[in-house]
Amino acid sequence: MSTMFDGMEIPGRNDECWCGSGRKYKKCHARIDERLQAFFDQGEEVPPHTLLKTPADIEGIKYSAEVNIGVLDGVGELVGPGVTTEEIDRWIYDYCIAHDSVPADLDYEGFPKSVCTSINEVVCHGIPSKEDVLREGDIVNIDMSTIRNGYYSDSSRMYYVGEVSEERKRLCEVTRESVKAGLAAVKPWAHLGDVSAAVNKVATDAGYSVVAEFGGHGIGLEFHEDPFVSFVAAAGTGPILVPGMCFTIEPMVNAGGAAIDMSDPNGWTVRTADGSDTAQWEVQLVVTEEGYELLSW
C-alpha cells in the first residue's frame, strides 16, 4: 500500500474516489493527487487532503451561507442613525434561530455577542453594545459567521450610516476592490501569496495600509482552519491553491498607518493605533478547477 505526501492512502484507480463523488478514482481526483504530490516533491507547501472539501461539504457550506448572506442583506435595512449595535445583534440572533442556525461568534473563545460590529477606527472584533449608537456619517463593518448543520460560513460587509464623507466612501470602495483583485488571483496551482499580493497592491496603491496581524483563514468544518491568509505576504509564497480548498479573503485596510491597538480592556476590540478610519470586506470561497466559486459574501 502506498501513501501520498500527507499520509493518505492512494486508492486503486478503479476504486471509488476518496471525495465521495461516487466516481472512479482515475476519473475523479487521481490527476489532482498526482499534481499535489509533484508540487510536494518540488518542495512546495501543499494542503493536506483534510483541507479539501468534498462535494457534500460544499453543499453543506452553501446551506450555512444562505443564512450568512440573509443576515448581511437584512441588516442593510436596519443600519441607520440612532440604531444601536445591540439592536443589530439581537436582530441577527433572532434571524439565526429562526433559520435553524447558531451565530458562530457567540461564546467563541468567550466572545459575548452574535456578531462583530466595528465602527470607524475599530479594525475588527467590535462588541455590539447599547452604548454604541450609530451616528450619521459612520462606517460600520458587520462581520457575520454562521453554523448550520455543522457547517461554517463567514463574511462581512461595510455599511454607511446615512450620508458618509467621500474619504470614508473611498476607503470602503478601495477595500472592496482589493477583495475583488484577490478573488481574480484565485486559481488552482497558483500560490496563496498571489492572492495576498493582489489584495495588498490595490490597497497600498491607493495610499492605504494593510493590517498584518489579522487575515483570512480556511473554513468549513471548523470556524478557523488552515491556512492563515495573510494580506501582507508576497506573491509566489505560501501554500499551493488546490480545488476544494475553502477559505476567506478579508483584508483590514487602514486610512493611516498599519499599526493596531489591542489594549482595550474588553480583550476584543481592535483599533487603529493612530485613530484613523479602517475598513474590511470578507468573502468565503472554494477553489475550483476553473478558478473559484463564491460561497458567502
| Closer residue to ligand MF3 in complex, CB, 105/121 | 105
From residue 49, give the alpha-carbon distance in Å to each of 19, 78, 83, 139, 288: 10, 41, 45, 40, 15
Q: Is the peptide bond before 227 cis (omega within 30 degrees of 0)?
A: yes
| Closer residue to Co ion in complex, CB, 89/143 | 143
| Closer residue to Co ion in complex, CB, 154/277 | 154
From residue 273, give the alpha-carbon distance in Å to each of 63, 78, 138, 158, 260: 38, 30, 19, 20, 5
Residue 230 interacting partner from Co ion, ligand MF3, none (CB closer than 5 to 8 Å by kind) = none
Instruction: Candidates 15-23, 58-66, 106-114, 187-195: pick the segment binding ligand MF3 (CB under 6 A).
Output: 106-114
| Closer residue to ligand MF3 in complex, CB, 28/116 | 116
**Which one among 33, 154, 225, 277 touches Co ion, defined by CB under 5 A?**
154
**Which one among 248, 254, 272, 278 touches Co ion, defined by CB under 5 A?**
248
Q: Does 228 bind ligand MF3 (CB under 6 A)?
A: no
**Which one among 53, 125, 157, 168 touches ligand MF3, defined by CB under 6 A?**
125
Binding residues for ligand MF3, rule CB under 6 A, total: 11
Phi, psi of 35 (to 5 degrees): -65, -40
From residue 89, give the alpha-carbon distance in Å to each of 8, 49, 211, 260, 261: 43, 36, 26, 25, 24
Number of Cα atoms under 13 Å in the Cβ half of residue 244: 23
Q: Does 225 bind ligand MF3 (CB under 6 A)?
A: no
- Decide: residue 150, CB within 10 A, 0-12 exposed, 13-18 middle, 19+ buried: exposed
Q: Does 111 bind ligand MF3 (CB under 6 A)?
A: yes
Q: Does 282 bind ligand MF3 (CB under 6 A)?
A: yes
Interacting residues toward ligand MF3 by CB under 6 A? 105, 108-109, 111, 116, 125, 143, 145, 154, 250, 282
Interacting residues toward Co ion by CB under 5 A? 154, 248
